[in-house]
Structure 1
């Protein structure tokens, strides 16, 4: 069972802060090998399930091959098919230095999968008549460039044109103190008054500040802190006991892996500051909780059917992760609906197939590959055709 992460030394933290713009929100690229040496013990794993043995063997091979190709230290993977069975696997190391293996029940960062929760909260408020998707962000947050034109819908679908917060001001503040706990108001403050990337609605460019501004709307309308609204409206109703919104990493007491990124050919531990992501990426969860959320997200069990139908209307991104389409805080790949996440040493993928009811969750403790490959997304894509032989029958 992995120990909680030990903070990097001050020089390493300063180095990471200096290059944080590359590690924070890496855009997913095409598949490719990192060209490094195999990760120690990457092939060791423990798996269980009741899917046909031949299917389990193919799933295990896909996991082993993906970890070897991209030098992934450790991974946890879950596959669930209603009426057919499940398969869960823990592979490799959660902590290279300590030689500790991944545990199937450990907690993982969701990173941008957090966005799916945030936009769901917004859509719940739409269902309640508290907000409308065509409201402008300027009705709730002052000082946003083009705030009287940018709609909440455009924020959710990534077409706002809004500046991101990972600018010089944020980088200077983070570099000065990598352990600083940033509030949502502070993260959004780095955006206010900044030049727009493009006119609202002109393009679809994946920008994390869009989701953090939605987080501010949720707080304004509910009168609650984001974490409290999340707990009351999603986590408790779905009994997600091991899913949390965390700003202070010191409160992340559940066993969890160390996050790594390649640095001159060496996998290097990354900063652990969760507060730098806010409602765009500060949540953690487990495989079993991810299964519950993946299904609830794609089926819209917490929303009115008409709202969920509207949520799933999307289009390709002009810049950002390689979904076939991106809709309201949710992406679609090969007919599967869900979301990816990446940043500071971790990648994640969570997708659900509406036709078969199958769900796939992948967590890995490596990010920021030189060619921008997203290892968790690559494994998800390799699992989909394997499951087709089960679900098509």
Structure 2
């Protein structure tokens, strides 16, 4: 695997910091505005094709090492169940399911189940935004007030700052939201209702001065997408990504009753006893920031599509990869709706009993996907991300 050296990390961080602030750029970093940095717009969307899985299986010895790494991570964090896959072009594939999807029901995890992928949804949402940029329907220099009224500092927060988590907007998960949610945990929230919790609220910081990861940033992008396209978010996602990419196992679900059974149950440890407790699900509280559900093979297709930039023009993907350090989730760098860890590009997801990791290595062409039904572990680790790193380590030791 390719290790990001300190010089590269500093350079990428510096460039993005200046871009996000909208100030004059350091010589050699990038052009003086995002409009100059972006490729010429085209009204014709880029053709999308589902990347095929590599033929055959990976060598037995490599499969054994991958299985052992997955099971070791599951044992370390007491993960009930998991589905995982590794795909290497020209070498083959390895997919597996381990443990229980439903402990109480004694239902084994399988490789064809549909799992909540949580914040991996953000990578889809920001991809939609960047597609619209490529088509000239909006600019990353646009301020959010051009599309959504009432956002504090909306006249200075750019769409790029929403996408890279440097906007400073308030989080909608506040005391008022939690009080309302407690009254009816089954209520299906609309995107407008989620974003209403941001409007008029004090900013966390001045735009472009810090990086704080919140769902609110991405849900506002969802509203921008709806405004520009004139369609609801789910329809745009289906038309622009899911259907063209053949993601038949991936759905934007806001009503948990629509979740296909049998499916995994999410678990979190009780803070007092440490015993794993099943979690009730209400994906509508996450919106375009986290309401997608997907299968292992759709995760494979998305990992490669995201990591190669197949949906975007090369210049747009290059801009997307400009990253910065962020407190959470666990990446080396967080870029524009995408994270980078030791040369792997992708996204993690976590919450309400589930963790997920979907990554692609542009240098080797390999992809890794891990879904697990446990979150919020005591040491705040991310089990699926830990498993992804362990699997990537096995590949590195094997020279893959």
- Please report the TM-score for the alignment, with normalisation by the length of structure 2: 0.85
2:262 matched to 1:255? yes
How far, CA to CA, are the matches of 1:208 and 1:391 in structure 2?
37
Structure 1 alignment gaps of length 5 or more: 1-48
CA shift digits 1:310-366 (9 cap, x unpaired): 11111111x221211111100000100000000100000000000111000000000
Deviations along 1:222-256, one digit per CA (max 9) or x if unpaired, are 00010000000000111111101010111112431
2:388 aligns with: 380
Number of the residue aligned with 1:329 = 337
SS at match of 1:76: strand
Q: Please say if 1:78 is aligned against 2:80.
A: no
Residue aligning to 2:39: none
Deviation at 1:390, TM superposition (A): 4.1
Partner of 2:129: 122
Q: Contact between 1:356 and 1:391, CA under 8 Å: does it hold in 2?
A: no
- Asked if the contact 2:69–2:394 (Cα under 8 Å) also holds between the matched residues in 1, the reply is no
| Aligned counterpart in structure 2 of residue 64 of structure 1, from 67, 71, 83 | 71
Mean CA deviation greater in 376-385 or 111-120: 376-385
1:167 aligns with 2:209: no
In structure 1, what is the Cα distance between the partners aligned to 2:193 and 2:106?
38
> 1:169-184 maps to which residues of 2 (within 5 A)?
169-184=176-191
Q: Which of residues 151, 154, 158 is equivalent to 1:151?
A: 158
Q: Which residue of 2 aligns with 1:353?
A: 361
Distance in structure 1 (CA, Å) of the matches to 2:353 and 2:252: 18
| 1:190 correspondence with 2:201 | no
Q: 1:309 aligns with which of 313, 318, 324?
A: 318
**How many pairs were matched up?**
343
Q: How does 1:17-96 map to 2 (within 5 A)?
A: 50-96=57-103
Give the distance between the partners of 2:292 and 2:188, measured in 1 at CA.
15
Helix, strand or coil at the partner of 1:111: coil
**After superposition, what is the alpha-carbon deviation per residue over 1:296-321, rounded to whole angstroms, capped at 9, x for unaligned?**
0111111111111111111111x221
Give the match for residue 278 of structure 1.
287
The correspondence of residues 206-221 of structure 1 with structure 2, limited to 5 A, is 206-221=213-228
| Distance apart, 1:391 and its partner CA | 4.6
CA contact (8 A) 2:330 2:385 kept: no
The answer for the alignment partner of 2:117 in structure 1 is 110
Report if aligned partners of 1:88, 1:104 keep a CA contact under 8 Å in 2.
yes
Q: How does 1:234-249 map to 2 (within 5 A)?
A: 234-249=241-256
Question: Aligned partners of 1:349 and 1:247: how far apart in 2?
Answer: 21
Q: 1:291 maps to what in 2?
A: 300
Cα RMSD for the two superposed structures: 1.0
Residues 268-323 of structure 1: per-residue CA shift (max 9 Å, x gap):
11121010000000000000000001100111111111111111111111x22121
